[in-house]
Amino acid sequence: MLNSDPKKINVAQKDTTLSKVLSSSFLLPGLLLPTILFFGAAVRLFSIEARSIWLDEVTSLEIASRSLQAITFGEGFDSHTPPFYYIVLHFMLELLPKTVSSIRLVSTLFDLLNIALLYKVARVEAGRLPYAKLLALMVSGLFAISAFPVYYGQEGRMYSFLIFLVLLTYSLSQSFTAQRFTRWHALAFIAVGSAGMYTHYYYAFFLFGLTVGLLVANASQLKRCIPWMMSCLAISLLFIPWLRVVFALMGSGGQSFRQFTALVLPYSFFRFSAGYGLMPLNQSMKSDVLASVMANLPAVAGFCLLFGIAFLLGVRSFVATHGRMSLPLLASLIAPPLLAFLISLKIPMLSERYLLVCYPFFLFLVTLGAVSLSSKRMRNSFIALLASCSLLGALAHSFNPNFQNTQWKTVVEYLVETNRSETVYVNPHYTASVPAQYAPEQYRIKEFLGPDFLQEPAGKVFWLLERGGASSVTPETLSRHRIEVLDESYYPLGNGLRVVLLQRLL
């Protein structure tokens, strides 16, 4: 536990009404966290199938369905993420149907564990502060309804599991700070740390920041850091077999589609605060970011201002009450975006979804900024505003019709309904596995590898689906090969889908 100095507390000691109420027998505090978990589950399960599957989720399902040997050694996939999540998912799918709904449910289950674990971490971190219980309940409550973690709690990817490992690691660091780091804690840290390293590369950035923070915080007694550092050494040694993949990725030039590195951090701050339901990242926004921001300026400015002020107040209060012992949490928050930004100047890899490793610490400081205000009126107003804005983000996440993944499911339903052809070409070719998840068995989903459909026989009718909306075949090419466009439509949400019905003339 990070011990706080009562003399440094900036809250009027007499004004602890909310904390007293939360401690009263009338509210049965033992039921408050289960109630938060119930609402967290309801928010995640309510619209868990509302959005179409997308490419990365299909990747999760396909990799987890392979043999343990193929997963462990990275056989058959590009290794952009290490294999441990897929191993966990592989065993989970032994108990569940091998469907997209199942892998999304796995993320939801881990995210519910995150709500409870975040309560524990926040409660310990708050220490002897008079509003410790209020702070812990508010942090877990905001996490339960905030649109940003809800999105990843509904997605069949590793991010909820990654937060789980981050919170477990930080909880173990709290035991270390409280001088309760036994050999069993060390073994648990080695296991959790190795799992984190083999789940996502950004875990390494978090662990680096946390370790540096612990070392600086304990600079006057570095000798007691030896067990932690020896555990870190063991984690590093266990990661050596995967370094060949890391070096190969570094030589590949990174994720070249990730551009505008300088804009990712402010964009991440907005998404941390509001989620994705407000100002959805559709093709229209990508084509004109400035126009989209201006059209949504009140929401963007309001969320960023409110959460920004709360965050800065939280940092000030945390440093004032915890002094040097605030460094582990602050370094855990700062290191991932800083290291990712520096690396991305050469190898693009910065993304708001990867920065999810920072989100629990961001939310803790935002909440602390609200509950630590000395004025009762200001504190209650800030808490009400944070809760209201988080609820607004959650409502937009669940009910905004313009917030969708790329509309693969809707398009396949349209193809089946019109019943014009069962032959479908998909461009880019590597996305063909996505509509195949929804198409009936008799449909032939083909990868578009150049204008290969030019070889279709005369009189043949077939579909072309193009993600992004841009045409890959010019009208001149179609005319030259006597291919006629019978119908064309565009689905703008997500990355956008262009749907074209073609026929080879006799």
Q: pLDDT tens digit string along 197-233?
A: 999 999 999 999 999 999 999 998 889 999 999 999 9
Say whether both 374 and 442 belong to one domain. Answer: no
Say whether both 343 and 441 belong to one domain. Answer: no
Tokens of 255: 């994720």
Say whether both 170 and 283 belong to one domain. Answer: yes
Say whether both 139 and 90 belong to one domain. Answer: yes
Q: What is the pLDDT of residues 29-84, one digit of tens each?
A: 578 899 999 999 999 999 898 889 988 999 999 899 888 888 887 765 556 789 99
Confidence of residue 3 (pLDDT cuts 50, 70, 90): very low
Residue 37 within a domain: no
Say whether both 125 and 241 belong to one domain. Answer: yes
Say whether both 481 and 349 belong to one domain. Answer: no
Residue 31 within a domain: no
Say whether both 129 and 275 belong to one domain. Answer: yes
Residue 41 within a domain: no
Residue 30 within a domain: no
Q: Which amino acid is at 107?
A: S
Q: What is the CA angle 320-322-325, rounded to 5?
A: 135
Tokens of 213: 């923070």
Residue 231 within a domain: yes
Q: 199: domain range?
A: 6-16+47-399
- Per-residue confidence (pLDDT) for residue 476, from 0 to 100: 80
The last residue of one of the domains, among 367, 399, 431, is 399
Residue 69 within a domain: yes
Say whether both 205 and 237 belong to one domain. Answer: yes
pLDDT at residue 497 is higher than 50: yes
CATH number at residue 420: 3.40.190
Q: What is the pLDDT of residues 123-136, one digit of tens each?
A: 999 987 888 888 99
Q: Count the Cβ atoms, other than its own, within 10 Å of residue 285.
A: 16
Helix residue ranges per DSSP H, 400-468: 408-418, 433-436
The last residue of one of the domains, among 399, 420, 442, is 399
What are the residues facing 427 on neighbouring strands? 466
Say whether both 422 and 376 belong to one domain. Answer: no
Q: What is the pLDDT of residues 271-286, one digit of tens each?
A: 999 999 888 877 667 6
Say whether both 430 and 345 belong to one domain. Answer: no
Q: How far apart are CA 112 and CA 161, in angstroms?
A: 10
The model's pTM is 0.90
- Per-residue confidence (pLDDT) for residue 471, from 0 to 100: 72
Residue 21 within a domain: no
Number of domains in the chain: 2
Q: What is the pLDDT of residues 389-446, one digit of tens each?
A: 999 999 999 998 888 888 999 999 999 999 999 999 998 888 999 999 999 999 999 9
Spatial CA neighbour of 317 closest among 52, 11, 16, 15? 11
Q: What is the pLDDT of residues 440-479, one digit of tens each?
A: 999 999 988 766 666 778 888 999 999 886 677 778 878 8
Strands of the sheet containing 423-427, edge to edge, are 444-447, 423-427, 461-467, 497-504, 483-491
Query: Could you tell me the end-to-end alpha-carbon distance of the chain, in angstroms, rounded to an integer?
Result: 78
- Exposed / middle / buried, residue 290 (Cβ in 10 Å: 0-12, 13-18, 19+): exposed
Contact 363, 143 (CB under 8 A): yes
Residue 38 within a domain: no
The last residue of one of the domains, among 379, 399, 419, is 399
Say whether both 473 and 324 belong to one domain. Answer: no
Say whether both 381 and 353 belong to one domain. Answer: yes
